[in-house]
Amino acid sequence: MRSDHGGEFQNELFEKFCEENGIMHNFSAPRIPQQNGVVERKNRSLEELARTMLNEYEVPKYFWADAVSTACYVLNRMLIRPILKITPYELFKGRKPNVAHLKIFGCKCFVLDNGKENLGKFDSKADEAIFLGYLLTNKAYKFFNRRTLNVEESMHVVFVEIVDLEENPLESNKTNAGDEEYLKEALDEMYLNENPLAEPEDLAKRWKSPRGLSLENVIGDISKGVVTRNMSNFCMTVAFVSQIEPKNVEEALQDDQWCIAMQEELNQFERNEVLELILRDDSHQVIGTKWVFENKLDEDGNITRNKARLVAKGYRQEGIYYDETHALVARLEVIHLLLAYASLMKFKLYQMDVKSAFLNGFIKEDVYVEQAPGF
C-alpha cells in the first residue's frame, strides 16, 4: 500500500495494523501526487462525497466524521467493481446488499420517544431530528436530536426526504423569502384584477395601512413608530430594588429594599385607617398573618419593584361564613364584555395600576389579627 506522509496513515496505530495483517506500507515522494496509490484516491473520493453531503442541507462541519462514515457505508453497497461486476459488500459477504433502508444524509426526521421520558397526556411523542447515518454495531439509525441537542440512535424514525435546496433543517423556523415574494405578487395581481383603475403606487399604500382600520381610534402619533422603554429607566431602578425574592420574613429583614417595601405596606393600612394596634386579648380568636413577597417584572423580564403584601391566614377562621370568599379582582368574562362594549361604542380605555385596594364597606364584627411578623 502506498500513501503520502499524511497523519491519517502515518501513525503508530495504523503501522501496527499493517504489521498484524502482513501489509507493506510505502510512501510517495513529497509533492508528487502522481505516485499516490489507490488508498489516497479513495480517501479523496470520500472527502468529496462528504463535502457534498454536508453542503446539501447545510449540516454543521463538526459532523464531518458522520458524513465520511455514511459515504463509505453507501459506496460499499452501491459501487460496482469494473471487472468483477459486483459490489464490495457482495464480495465480502457473499450476498447482495439490501438498500431499502438507505436515506438522504442530513434530511429532517422525527423520532419516537418510545418510553425514554415520562410524558404527559398531551405532550409530543416525537422529537425533530437530523439524520446522520447508520450504525455498524446494531440495526439502528443515527441522528441529532434538536430538542436535547444530543446524538442518539433509534429504529423508530420517520423520515421527511423532500429535496429542497433552499430549506435548511437546522434553521427550519426561517421563512422562505421566495415564497413571500411569490405570495405578494399573487395578491398584487389579484388586487389589480379587481380594481382595473388602480395604480401600482396604490399597492404600497394598501400594504402599509389595512382596510377597515380608522386612524381616529388610534391613540398617539403613529408616525413615531414603536416606542420602547429606554435603558436609562432600567438603570435608574436597578439600584433601588432587590434582585432576590426572599422565602420568609427573616431573609427579607436582612435586605434594606424589602424592609422599605414592608414598611410601605404597613403605611397603607395606617393611611386608610383599617387597622388599630391594641394589646392582645386571649378571650377572642386571633387570626395569624404572614408576608407574601413578589418581584414585579416589566415586559423585558427586568425587576422594577419589590412588592410585599401582608395577608391574613383565613384558613384559621373557622365558624360562620367560613365558605364565603371575596376577591378584589374582576372576572375574565367581565373584562371581555367591557372590551367588546368599548369597541362597539368607540370608547377610549385607559389602564392604571392601583398600589393598594381595600373593600369600600364597613365590617360589623370585630376581627382580631396578629401583628405583622418582624414588626
Concatenating the DSSP letter of every residue in 192-232 gives HHH-TT--HHHHHHHHHS-TT--GGG--S-GGG------HH
73 is a domain residue? yes
> Positive or negative, the Cα torsion across 10, 11, 12, 16?
negative
Identify the CA nearest to 46 among candidates 70, 62, 26, 27: 70
Which one has a higher pLDDT value, 237 or 119?
119
- Grid cell 462514515 — which residue? 69
Q: 164-191 pLDDT, tens per residue?
A: 545 454 454 444 455 556 555 655 565 5
Q: How many domains is the chain built from? A: 3
- Looking at 171, 190, 221, which one is the last position of a domain? 171
Q: Considering the domain boundaries, does residue 222 fall inside one? A: no
**For position 134, what pLDDT does the model report?**
92
Per-position DSSP letters for 135-175, written without gaps between them: -SSSS-EEEEETTTTEEEEES-EEEE----TT--GGGTTSP
Gyration radius (Cα) of the chain, Å: 37
Indicate the helix (H) or strand (E) that contains 291: strand 289-297
Q: Cα separation of 68 and 47, whole Å?
A: 7
Q: Give the C-alpha separation, 201 to 353, whole Å.
A: 45
Asked if the structure places residue 10 within a domain, the reply is no
77 and 198 in a single domain? The answer is no
Higher pLDDT, 216 or 264: 264
- Look up the domain containing 295 and give its range: 231-369
Query: Each residue of 198-241: pLDDT tens digit?
Result: 555 444 444 344 445 566 666 666 666 665 555 555 565 666 78
66 pLDDT band, cuts 50/70/90, is very high
Alpha helices in the chain (DSSP H): 12-20, 38-56, 64-78, 88-93, 177-194, 200-208, 231-238, 249-253, 256-272, 332-345
Same domain, 349 and 238: yes
pLDDT exceeding 70 applies to what percent of the chain? 72
Nearest to 365 by CA among 294, 298, 288, 284: 284
Q: What angle do CA 269, 274, 275 make, to 5 degrees?
A: 75
Give the pLDDT confidence of 121-175 residue by residue, as tens digits: 888 888 899 999 998 888 899 999 888 888 899 998 999 887 554 545 445 444 4
CA angle in degrees (0–180, nearest 5) for 282-288-293? 155
**Is the model more confident about 271 or about 47?**
47
Q: Identify whether residues 139 and 62 lie together within a single domain.
A: yes
Q: Are 94 and 154 contacting, i.e. CB atoms less than 8 angstroms apart? A: no
Whether 82 contacts 61, CB under 8 Å: no
**Residues 90, 130 within the same domain:** yes
Clarify whether residues 196 and 313 are in a common domain. Answer: no
Q: For 296, which DSSP code?
A: E
SS3 346: coil
Strand partners, 129: 109, 145
The answer on 274 and 182 residing in a single domain is no
Q: How many CB atoms lie within 10 A of CB 169?
A: 20
Regarding whether 193 and 161 lie in a shared domain, the answer is no
15, part of any domain: no
Q: Are residues 203 and 157 in the same domain?
A: no
Structure confidence by residue, pLDDT tens digits, 308-358 = 888 887 666 665 555 565 656 778 888 899 999 999 998 988 887 776 666
30 assigned to some structural domain: no
- Average predicted confidence (pLDDT) for the chain: 77
| Amino acid making up residue 223 | S
Residues 163 and 266 in one domain: no
* Residue 208: predicted pLDDT: 44
Residue where the block lists cell 392604571: 352
Rounded Cα distance between 130 and 92, Å, is 31
Point out the least confidently predicted range of 42-51, 106-115, 135-144, 155-164.
155-164
CA 181 to chain centroid, in Å, comes to 28
| Alpha-carbon 100 to chain mean position | 35
The answer as to whether 283 is a domain residue is yes
Which of 115, 150, 102 shows the shortest CA–CA distance to 130?
150
**Residue 68 CB: number of other CB atoms within 10 A?**
19
Question: Above 80 in pLDDT, residue 114?
Answer: no
Question: Is residue 81 domain-shared with residue 192, that is, in the same domain?
Answer: no
> Is residue 156 assigned to a domain?
yes
Contacts of residue 97, Cβ cutoff 8 Å, sequence gap at least 6: 76, 77, 87, 89, 90
Q: Do 312 and 189 share a domain, yes or no?
A: no
The per-residue pLDDT for 32 is 74
Q: Domain boundary at 187, 213, 239, which?
A: 213
- Considering the domain architecture, whether residues 184 and 268 belong to the same structural domain is answered as no
Question: Which are the contacts of 67, defined by CB distance < 8 A and separation ≥ 6?
Answer: 49, 50, 53, 54, 59, 105, 133
Query: Is the full-model pTM beyond 0.75?
Result: no
Query: Within a domain: residue 166?
Result: yes
Residue 73, pLDDT score: 92
